[in-house]
Amino acid sequence: MNSCKILKRRTLFYLYDKSEIYSFGYLIKKYGFYPRFLPMPVLTDHSAPNFLDKLNHNEIPENRIDFLTHTHLKSSLYKSIKKGRSYIMYPPFLYANKLYSKPLSKLEARWITIFPKHQKQIGHDTTENEYDFNSILKFIEYLKNSFGNTYIRVCLHCHDYQRGIHKVFEDKGVRVVTAGNSMDDNFAFNFLVILRTSKLIYGNQIGSIFLYATLFEIEYKLINSMPVLGLQGYVDRKYVSYLESGRSNLNLTFRQKLIDSFFPTEDSISRLRLSVVLWKNFLSVATLKTLKKKMLNV
């Protein structure tokens, strides 16, 4: 959280801030042999593969620009609006897992980690996804009584830290961790450390954590005593019904189906081709005009 001022200065020249979030800008540029100091010249998914059956509002640009996405569904949706080409990107967190393979391999998976659905950024309406702290604390007590150890923690998003939500848990003696500021280049590494040190993950939604736990073969379970939030598309409605049926231990066939659907790495763009795409978009008239406007307004 101490790096917020530095990040704020750096983001003045971000062309599309959602394409820099969660270390995506850093990882995609590194994968595509593109200088880190230059702004990201393409659009990307907001974070992990999401479950929307439509494009998000920030994925419909004013100018023509190419788009990097995790899934074929999102790629076809973007192509349909004819705002630019769409490519399946190599999953940034999977690439980060390769980059940091040596330090990550030394970690021990011993924690039970609870990932509550995070609230929205300060300044946005939060009524739709506020959660009941008492339910989470009650569940944590249940885990402590059941497992009889102290290796239980809550992982919070930086939005929740900014709101001071971590104090609710810390005041009850619950360990709290975070991957840090979502605009920090180190976010992906910090997140992977939390994943790699987790032997079991609990959550109250079918979302990013569910997908990444599946990708990295970590057992994921829903907290049955809490509501499942954010069912935005047919995919998560389908999978939540599967999990709520009691089959929370995902079998190999189900895992493979998820990975193929949300992380189709065999169809991902090559590093050299991505480099061409990034440079082509950076040198486009629209990008250069936008960058010039930002520089004059600073």
pLDDT of residue 128: 45
Q: 256 and 108 in one domain? A: yes
Q: 293 and 171 in one domain? A: no
Count: domains in the chain: 2
Q: Within 13 Å of residue 243, how many CA atoms lie on the same side as its CB?
A: 24
Q: How far apart are CA 167 and CA 149, in angstroms?
A: 22
Q: Which has the closest alpha carbon to 93: 218, 226, 5, 232?
A: 218
Q: What share of residues in the chain are helix, strand, coil (percent, to 5)? A: 50, 10, 40
Q: 254 and 107 in one domain? A: yes
Is the pLDDT confidence value at 233 over 90? no
Residue 35 included in any domain: yes
Q: How many CB atoms lie within 10 A of CB 173?
A: 9
Q: What are the distances in angstroms from CA 115 to CA 26, 92, 152, 222, 234?
A: 25, 21, 11, 10, 22
Dihedral of alpha carbons 90, 200, 207, 40, sign: negative
pLDDT tens, 274-288? 999 999 999 998 788
The mean-pLDDT minimum among 36-45, 127-136, 152-161 falls in 127-136
Q: 269 and 231 in one domain? A: no
Q: How many CB atoms lie within 10 A of CB 119?
A: 21
Q: 269 and 249 in one domain? A: no
Residue 87 included in any domain: yes
pLDDT tens, 195-217? 999 999 988 777 788 889 989 99
* CB-CB contact of 10 with 26 (8 Å): no
Q: 125 and 62 in one domain? A: no
Residue 96 included in any domain: no
Q: What is the mean pLDDT of residues 79-88?
A: 95
Q: Which amino acid type is present at position 131?
A: Y
Q: 211 and 253 in one domain? A: yes
Residue that is written with structure tokens 């079991």 in the block:
200
pLDDT of residue 235: 60
pLDDT tens, 253-266? 777 777 888 899 99
The range of the structural domain enclosing residue 36 comes to: 4-91+264-297
Is the pLDDT confidence value at 121 over 80? no
* CB-CB contact of 208 with 48 (8 Å): yes
Q: 232 and 278 in one domain? A: no
Q: What are the distances in angstroms from CA 86 to CA 44, 169, 200, 278, 279?
A: 10, 42, 35, 12, 15
pLDDT of residue 67: 95
CATH number at residue 130: 3.40.50
Residues 6+ apart with CB under 8 A from 186: 23, 180
Q: 179 and 145 in one domain? A: yes
Is the pLDDT confidence value at 3 over 60? no
Is the pLDDT confidence value at 290 over 90? no
Q: What are the distances in angstroms from CA 231 to CA 62, 96, 109, 117, 128?
A: 28, 28, 30, 12, 12
Q: 256 and 124 in one domain? A: yes
Q: 214 and 110 in one domain? A: yes
Structure tokens at 67: 């788009």
Q: 105 and 9 in one domain? A: no
Q: How far apart are CA 137 and CA 144, in angstroms?
A: 11
CA 144, chain centre distance (Å): 28
Q: What is the mean pLDDT of residues 4-21?
A: 68
Residue 153 included in any domain: yes
Is the pLDDT confidence value at 230 over 70? no
Residue 218 included in any domain: yes
Residue 144 included in any domain: yes
